[in-house]
């Protein structure tokens, strides 16, 4: 919990400074030119809210996953992130690191996959880690459901 809060606050401050900077410039310019103070106040309040939403979704995040076939999981994970615009930066038996290309999402950052024999720890932005896992697991479940359905149909036709 403490680590998660620390990651959120670090991300929040970065995002807030980016979003709020035009309104701070307007506030400073208000000493030299006439600017409606309501605009600046609304802008800063909007920045506070929007920064919290963005920071919540792009903060550093860890997820633990268990699998039965290491090679298949890694292949699927690389395949999904390649479609999202990532390339493999480093790949060893214990670590897989992917980095974003120009075509990947804004605020993406690197994704690290720390591998063991039957589990993995995925580190990256919350949005991409959860989306990547959901897509891989959803794809696997639909694939397994399709195989089971085909086996049932084959069994029924055989009788």
Can you say whether the dihedral through the CA atoms of 26, 31, 35, 40 is positive or negative? positive
Q: Residue 112 and residue 110: Cα distance in Å, rounded? A: 7
In the prediction, which pLDDT does 103 show? 64
DSSP string, 108-153: ---EEEEE-SSEEEEEEEHHHHHHHHHHHHHHHHHHHHHHHHHHHH
In the prediction, which pLDDT does 135 show? 67
Do residue 51 and residue 117 come from a single domain? no
Do residue 75 and residue 141 come from a single domain? yes
pTM as predicted = 0.59
Do residue 13 and residue 50 come from a single domain? yes
In the prediction, which pLDDT does 140 show? 55
Q: Residue 36 and residue 2: Cα distance in Å, rounded? A: 40
Q: Residue 44 and residue 8: Cα distance in Å, rounded? A: 19
Within the chain, where are the H helices? 2-29, 37-58, 70-83, 126-158
In the prediction, which pLDDT does 107 show? 56
Do residue 79 and residue 135 come from a single domain? yes
Do residue 89 and residue 66 come from a single domain? yes
pLDDT band at residue 139 under the 50/70/90 scheme = low
Do residue 50 and residue 116 come from a single domain? no
- Of 70, 86, 76, the closest CA to residue 125 belongs to 86
Strand partners of residue 119: 66
pLDDT band at residue 149 under the 50/70/90 scheme = very low
Residue 64 has pLDDT above 70, yes or no: yes
Answer for the pair 4, 63: CB distance below 8 angstroms, yes or no: no
In the prediction, which pLDDT does 132 show? 67
Q: Residue 96 and residue 104: Cα distance in Å, rounded? A: 18
Can you say whether the dihedral through the CA atoms of 144, 145, 150, 156 is positive or negative? positive
Name the domain count of the chain: 2
CA angle 10–110–72, rounded 5-degree value: 135
Do residue 145 and residue 76 come from a single domain? yes
Do residue 135 and residue 72 come from a single domain? yes
Do residue 154 and residue 81 come from a single domain? yes
Mean pLDDT of 139-157: 40
In the prediction, which pLDDT does 35 show? 80
Q: State which of 58-62, 108-112, 113-117, 145-149 shows the largest mean pLDDT.
A: 113-117
Q: What are 74-117's pLDDT values in tens digits?
A: 888 888 888 877 888 888 888 989 888 876 655 567 888 899 88
Do residue 49 and residue 67 come from a single domain? no
Q: Which domain holds residue 105?
A: 62-158
Q: Residue 156 and residue 159: Cα distance in Å, rounded? A: 5
């Amino acid at each position: 919990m403490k680590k998660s809060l620390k990651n959120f606050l670090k991300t929040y401050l970065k995002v807030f400074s980016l979003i709020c900077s035009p309104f701070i410039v307007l506030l400073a310019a208000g000493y030299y030119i006439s600017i409606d103070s309501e605009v600046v106040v609304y802008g800063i309040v909007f920045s506070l809210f929007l920064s919290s939403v963005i920071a919540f979704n792009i903060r550093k995040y860890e997820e633990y996953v268990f699998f039965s076939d290491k090679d298949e999981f890694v292949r699927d994970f690389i395949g999904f992130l390649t479609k999202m615009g990532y390339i493999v930066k480093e790949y060893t038996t214990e670590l897989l690191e992917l980095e974003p290309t120009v075509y990947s999402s804004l605020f993406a950052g690197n994704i690290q996959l720390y591998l063991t024999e039957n589990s993995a720890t995925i580190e990256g932005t919350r949005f991409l880690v959860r989306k990547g896992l959901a897509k891989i697991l959803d794809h696997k479940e639909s694939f397994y459901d399709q195989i089971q359905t085909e086996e049932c149909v084959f069994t029924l036709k055989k009788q």
